[in-house]
Structure 1
Amino acid sequence: MTSTSGQFIAFFGATGGCTNACLVHTLNAGLHATALARTPSKLTNMLLTQGISQATIDAQLTIIKGDIADITAIKSVLFSSKDKDSSAAIALQIISGIGGTPQMQWSLRKPVTIDNPEVCTTATKNIMQALQEIYAEHPSAVQHKPSITAISTTGLSDVCEDVPFGFRLLYSIVLADPHKDKGEMERLIMKNMAEPNESTRLFRGATIVRPSLLTGDQDVLKGKGWQKLRAGQDDKPAVGYTVNKADVGQWIFEQIVKSGGESHFGQKVTLTS
């Protein structure tokens, strides 16, 4: 990754499986990061159990206590006031894996919903608002806009079918609410990136990662390895049933964080086992 001293990666949803795994690899690589967490101790414990030392956490990670509704906290994740006059003041990249908790409900049409049906949409709007405020308050930051990688899902393409036939009923009915939220998240990001005036674009580049149905947890020691994943794009998706969360997180680190991600800007990448 091309970076200068002090630059960092901003993580949202860092206690979630894919994003947490990506954060573990980021810290193991010696890179600096910031993360938003409602319960910082939970995030710290998740990292410790995967072999990240407390010394590494103290030296390389800044955890901001708050939630995705807190614009001030989001700005603290994205912008370092101590480096406000340098290119290192603003995050180099944003990794967003925000998601809700599935909940059962008495409904034949939508038996599964999530605790916050608009959590991805709200998170994306608030990240964008936070960036707008940062650019207004610190005009020099406009010259160093971060890229964004947002973790979405298969089943949203309007270009080509990316879900196996056996899963289509599950996706269209059971997972309708979370998929609607993910779809709006994608729309907001891509709409902004399509702005004809570059000055109104909030990100340097954007990548949507669409994994198949996620399995496993964030533990990088249990992953099968990112190189075993099949990757496709919106017009030629990689179609499969499931994919391990830890492997998705490692793929994002290797292909986005580590390299800078420029080769994937503008893409909607499908990932599956």
Structure 2
Amino acid sequence: MSSPAPKTILFLGATGGVGLSALRRALAANHTCIALCRTPSKLAAHFPSDPAPSNLRLVQGNAHDAATLATCLVHPSDPARLVDAVVFSIGARPTLRGMDDPHVCERGMEALLAALRTCRREKGAAAGGFKPRLVAVSSTGISDFGRDIPLAMVPLYRVALHTAHRDKKAMERLVVGSGGETEWTLIRGSFYTSGPETEGLVREGMEDPVTGRVDAEGGGVPIGYTISREDVGKWVFENCLQGGEKWVGKAAVITY
């Protein structure tokens, strides 16, 4: 089986975790990758080879700045084209007073969608029909249609993670509402850990976040405690960036 044609992929939130895991795999598969970072040196440190990967373009900037995002959505070697996909994995950092930015995901997605509209308007008819593959990293525990976490985890999600999940929920509403503009997939991993990549342990399920329907043939939505960020990034790469059309317009629930 031949490999998919190389794509151009924008990564937002790639300095660690899920985004970094997916980025490393995309680079190895010869995709052109653009990574927008507030501090590019933090990401560059993960690629200490000299020279750095030739298919990686680091851009300094803020993912809440629509103007900067608009420049990153343009194909680096063809100004008439836009990127093929966007991996959105930004998130807040916990502090002693709570999350450092309780609206980081919502504001970031608002800026991204605004930037996409700007690109379509400025690029004209060619970009007007462009619908990028948008992969947005979310979380379990926020479905409107059923429980996808163990009962033992409910107190943690409702108390300690309430603010972060409210932000993820707001982001999800924006993503789902962008159906005419993007080919989106929501990634709802269970509690994220820093564990290693595994083989054969990941379980997956599919929910339609509009209707609440689940993939009955796959056994419904799996319920589990944790999954490593490394495995989530691997799943994103294999099932969304390398293809995976069946996940368009769906929420992927993944866990061990």
1:140-159 counterparts in 2 under 5 A?
140-159=126-145
Distance, in Å, in 2 between the alignment partners of 1:76 and 1:248 is: 28
Amino acid at match of 1:216: S
Aligned partners of 1:11 and 1:36 also within 8 Å:
yes
Within the candidate set 202, 218, 242, 1:229 is matched to 202
**2:79 is the counterpart of 1:94:** no
**TM-score of the aligned structures, taking structure 1 as reference length:** 0.84
Deviation at 1:145, TM superposition (A): 2.2
Whole-Å separation in 1 of the counterparts to 2:122 and 2:50: 34
User: 1:242, 1:134 → 2: CA distance?
Assistant: 38
Q: Distance in 2 between matches of 1:170 and 1:184?
A: 20
Residue 210 of structure 2: aligned partner: none
Map Cα deviations across residues 31-87 of structure 1 (whole Å, 9 max, x no partner). Answer: 111010111111011233xxxx44452x101111001122222112211364123xx
SS at match of 2:46: helix
Paired residue for 1:103?
95
Kept in 2: contact 1:64–1:76 (CA 8 A): no
Query: Would you tell me which structure has more helix in proportion to its own residues?
Result: 1
Which residue does 1:28 correspond to in 2? 28
2:232 alignment counterpart: 248
Match for residue 268 of structure 1 among 247, 251, 256: 251
What are the Cα deviations for residues 172-226 of structure 1, in whole angstroms up to 9, with x where unaligned?
1111000000000000110221xxxxxxx221x1100000000016xxxx3214x
2:217 maps to which residue? none
Q: Does 1:122 align with 2:115?
A: no
Shift of 1:166: 0.4
Sort the Cα spacing of 1:211 and 1:81 in 2 relative to 1 into closer, same or farther, 3 A.
closer
Mapping for residues 165-184 of structure 1, pairs under 5 Å: 165-184=151-170
Q: CA deviation at 1:2?
A: 4.4
Distance (Å, rounded) in 1 between the aligned partners of 2:116 and 2:174? 14
Task: Please report how far the alpha carbon of residue 142 of structure 1 lies from its aligned counterpart in structure 2 after TM superposition.
Answer: 2.0
Does 1:207 pair with 2:185?
A: yes
Contact 1:207 1:269 in 2 (8 A): yes
| Contact 1:212–1:241 (8 Å) recurs in 2 | yes
In the alignment, the residues of structure 2 paired with residue 80 and residue 72 of structure 1 have an alpha-carbon distance, to the nearest angstrom, of: 15
Q: Aligned AA for 2:107?
A: T
Whether contact under 8 Å (1:64, 1:73) holds in the other structure is no
What residue in structure 2 maps to residue 77 of structure 1? 72
* TM-score, scaled relative to structure 2: 0.90
The answer to whether the 8 Å contact 2:63/2:108 transfers is yes
After superposition, what is the alpha-carbon deviation per residue over 1:82-131, rounded to whole angstroms, capped at 9, x for unaligned? 4123xxx21101110010101233xxxxxxx3100000000000000000
Give 2:42's aligned residue. Answer: 42
SS in structure 1 opposite 2:10? strand
Q: How does 1:178-193 map to 2 (within 5 A)?
A: 178-193=164-179
CA distance in 2, matches of 1:84, 1:121: 28
Q: CA RMSD in A?
A: 1.6
**Structure 2: runs of 5 or more not aligned:** 208-213, 215-219
- Check if 1:62 corresponds to 2:57: yes
* Fraction of identical pairs, as percent: 31
- Determine the C-alpha separation between the residues in 2 that align with 1:91 and 1:82: 11
Distance 2:223 2:52 in 1: 38
Report the CA distance between 1:249 and its aligned residue.
0.3
